[in-house]
Chain A
């Protein structure tokens, strides 16, 4: 088994693959270029990124790259099945909550800018217009989008497909958004530890993933203080505020990483009332939620469970 790792998108990227070393090395090199290019394209922290140019074009038709078009198309696909809980148009609300710069630059003492006087409820992302023939999109006037999570998942899958062209089997993790292709030799799947959001060095469950992707949304990561209040980056599109969920994290196993990302976020925001209907019966999908006491809850192929040590997909 061959490995490579590096940092990008302010998170840890890990490649693992089996195959001839000289071939795998080529695959890793291509995959790393995919991640680096995607990092530049999808960041909201550079005014020159394609994403921020698109945000400035709101109200007009705008030509985008095929990569941007793919991610936007995926994102739009998941709005209706998540009842709008997945909504990339939360950027103004995110900035108003204080997340206005790269996470490691946010002051931890709450000395950042004060929040908006009233919450900024995002517009419906499904209003985004797309022209597949011309590769053009039009954001409604006033819509500003953040593709952080879903772009990371999309890049994990792109990188995995790159490596798979050179390897017998591979897995790519982009900050815990994981895509696997093929099975490792002498194993019935890829082992994925699910972090305890209260103790990130510990795992609360182990998933055995044979195909597809895994993603986790957590309110325990990317958090900061604004004034006297604790904030995190999961915005509830219904209120424009950081989500108030009884769960600390939700992990979703799904056929694709973008789907896993979108549903992990939606389930975390929706909590125990909405998650079972959102993700419970969806083909190839399983979810695992962890609450503040470390209790596990979730479903696998429509079957509810309340305690799990091992979940297989």
Chain B
């Protein structure tokens, strides 16, 4: 039994060492990754997209009466309560 344990230990050590050395050899012969800090390759990087500015909300607040109406923003709402309207001149 004791002998069996020793053989098993030796086998595990050998397999571990073999696996380690095999991996080392494989990595040493693998193709090298392309360099990432080279300035000559910067032109290949896709440019950041340019976003169009968001339309302002209520564009007709400060404009003339004939400014284009603001893009349609959903303002239709349903509520369960009765609204309180207000009057105060305008």
Contacts and interface: CB of A to CB of B under 8 A. Distances in A.
Interface string B48-90: 0000000000101110111001100001111111111111111
A14 B89 contact: no
Given A8-B60, A40-B65, A46-B64, A1 B85 contact: no
Nearest to A209: B85
Given A6-B75, A46-B64, A104-B61, A1 B89 contact: no
Task: For chain A, give the interface size range.
Answer: 35 or more
Contacts of B90: 10-12, 152, 174-177, 221-222
B48 to A, nearest CB: 35
A197 B88 contact: yes
A104 B58 CA distance: 14
Contact of A2 (B62, B78, B82): B78
Contacts of A74: none
A71 interface: no
Contacts, number: 121
B82 A191 contact: yes
Given A21-B78, A176-B90, A216-B89, A193 B84 contact: yes
B69 to A, nearest CB: 7
A1 B78 contact: yes
Interface of A: 1-12, 14, 16, 21, 25, 28, 36, 39-40, 43, 45-46, 102, 104-105, 152, 171, 173-178, 184, 187, 190-195, 197, 200, 203, 206, 214-218, 220-222, 249, 251
Given A104-B61, A215-B87, 7 more contacts: A1-B79, A1-B81, A45-B66, A102-B64, A191-B83, A194-B88, A249-B88
